Structure 1
Amino acid sequence: MAHVKCLDPGASPLHFFGSELRRLRERAGLTLAQLGDIVYLTGSMIGQVETAAKVPKDEHVPRIDAALGADGALVRLWGMVKRYRLPVWLRRIVHFEATALEIRTYQAQLVHGLLQTPDYARAVLGVLRQDELAARLETRLERQEVLAREAPPLLWVVLDESVLYREIGGRATMSRQLEHLLTFRETDEVQIQVLPFSVGAHTGLSGSFTLFTFDGHPDVAYAEGYVDDWASLNSEEIRTRSLRYDLLRASALSPADSADLIARVMEERYEHRPEHLA
């Protein structure tokens, strides 16, 4: 007899949705494979939605609802599910970065983790605690391996100009960090723009945030907080943050002009002339 994973409907709204999907499927007398055939998904995908291991796309839900004769119940429930945070395990930043096709991020305080040098990352991670720093640093740097894949995600970063001047780890560390940013100037998969002070008020004043685009899964909006991080697949939240990001990108310097500014800050503030200008 095949092992059937027990469900915990109270674990999260996503788990409750999965348990209702399983209940309705079993009431209809359909196997995972049979339901998958009807709605043009694999039985494995249906099973992973039932156990909250995967998130269905918006267009999947009405098809599943109709196939199970749920009379709109799953569609209405899905609308509620999207208004809540994703389960902690599903919103781990490593998971998002490893599976995304495109990562769009605005960083108000720091260089994004995927672009940090070891010294810069060590200084950031060691601000509040030094315990297990080596292990935490290794984990941070391992995340950057996604950029070295044969088919890496498109990473589009908008940095507030203040990031260039905030001396994380000291002048030498900052100089090397800015030089590292310049190594991506000829890389199509990594685009870096700087949002200059001259812009004044802008749509990123409330803080850093990231948008992830996936293949076969809904987009996710993500942000790190002081105590915890949060993630949402609410379509309204995605639209709002996408607009905010597009406006930030439009207000920022072009990638070429941004690289010139980074090089200028390196030389004028940190007294380090970039190699290509030496």
Structure 2
Amino acid sequence: MPNIRELDPSASPLDYFGFELRRKREEAGLTQGELGACIFCTGSLVGQVETARKVPTREFAERVDAALGTGGTFSRLVGLVLRSQLPHWFQPFAEMEAKATYISTFQCQMVYGLLQTEAYARAVLATGKPDNLDDQVAARMERQRILRRDQPPVSLVVLDEAALHRSVGGRQVMRKQLQHLLSFRDARCVRLQVLPFGVGEHANLAGSFSLLRFDDDPDIVYTEDLISGHMTADTETIREATLRYASLQAAALAVEDSAELIKHVLEERYGQHPGTG
């Protein structure tokens, strides 16, 4: 008989997911192997998820819902599970980001997380040498679902030109990433502007920040230091961040001109050349 690891469903979203998966599977009278066959995976994988040794993917959760007729329970729960894989200091911001009505962000080093491709995100996250890289990548991709909601937040992004030139993950990764940025050119709720090198000094040489606005909650400013993130609703900080962001927007290229600059960098720096990947 297999050694069954008992889970405390209150310990974490991952433990709760595993506990409920086992309970629903047993209610359906299925073995791990039988459920695995229904959702196109191994019984071993089902067992690893049930014992919280493996983080489920969204596809796994959706297939479980279909196989067990659970009405979307696991598809709803998997978002919490994946968010719990983010660094603990980042989780509060991710929760607020998902609730925001308006997101205004200035990024001076890299592409904003909501606009990253999976390969770009993997290269960025790998620099921290995490033990759960695959889970962190999945969590970042899960964050991006807010842009595909029926009513996504209005996202205003000012991206320093340096982020276009910094080769993250290599030529092929950057080519796909810049192409992905161009796909937002006509997006109704995403406005992407590039702050060009030609601007010189600007309103926020100190670094990146994000300003979140909500329908019913106070505005929040988010910044990061070397090892953690910081949120504040202090009114003076909000006022200063708003003024700085307005200045950055005014200095940045218009949306159409920004797209042209991205295309230029894509062709000149990451274009397909003989003998390159």
- Give me the TM-score of the superposition, normalised by structure 2: 0.65
Partner of 2:190: 190
Partner of 1:114: 114
Partner of 2:99: 99
Partner of 2:244: 244
Partner of 1:146: 146
Q: Distance in 2 between matches of 1:91 and 1:164?
A: 27
| C-alpha spacing 1:256/1:90, structure 2 compared with 1 (3 Å) | closer
Aligned residues: 186
Partner of 1:17: none
Residues 93-122 of structure 1, C-alpha deviations (whole Å, 9 max, x = no match): 211111000000000001000000000000
Residue type at the aligned position of 1:254: A
Moved over 6 A (4+): 88-91
Partners of 1:266 and 1:272 within 8 A in 2: no
Partners of 2:211 and 2:221 within 8 A in 1: yes
Worse-superposed segment, 223-232 or 241-250: 223-232
Partner of 1:227: 227
Q: Does 1:132 align with 2:160?
A: no
Partner of 1:61: none
CA RMSD of aligned residues (A): 1.6
Partner of 1:43: none
Matches within 5 A, 1:1-278: 92-272=92-272
Partners of 1:193 and 1:253 within 8 A in 2: yes
Residues 186-217 of structure 1, C-alpha deviations (whole Å, 9 max, x = no match): 11100000000010100120000000000111
Partners of 2:90 and 2:228 within 8 A in 1: no
Q: Distance in 2 between matches of 1:271 and 1:90?
A: 35
Structure 1, unmatched stretches of 5+, are: 1-87, 274-278
Give the drift of 1:128.
2.1
Residue type at the aligned position of 1:242: T
Structure 2, unmatched stretches of 5+, are: 1-87
Residue type at the aligned position of 1:262: I
| C-alpha spacing 1:174/1:218, structure 2 compared with 1 (3 Å) | same
Q: Distance in 2 between matches of 1:91 and 1:189?
A: 24
Q: Distance in 2 between matches of 1:272 and 1:116?
A: 21
| C-alpha spacing 1:105/1:230, structure 2 compared with 1 (3 Å) | same
Q: Distance in 2 between matches of 1:123 and 1:259?
A: 24
Residue type at the aligned position of 1:228: S
Partners of 1:91 and 1:230 within 8 A in 2: no
Give the drift of 1:272.
4.6
Q: Distance in 1 between matches of 2:152 and 2:197?
A: 31
Partner of 1:45: none
Q: Distance in 2 between matches of 1:142 and 1:91?
A: 13
Residues 2-44 of structure 1, C-alpha deviations (whole Å, 9 max, x = no match): xxxxxxxxxxxxxxxxxxxxxxxxxxxxxxxxxxxxxxxxxxx
SS at match of 2:114: helix
Partners of 2:101 and 2:154 within 8 A in 1: yes
Partner of 1:81: none
Q: Distance in 2 between matches of 1:229 and 1:119?
A: 24
Give the drift of 1:227.
1.0
- Give me the TM-score of the superposition, normalised by structure 1: 0.65
Higher relative contact order (CA 8 A, sep 6+): 1
Partners of 1:119 and 1:173 within 8 A in 2: yes
SS at match of 1:92: helix
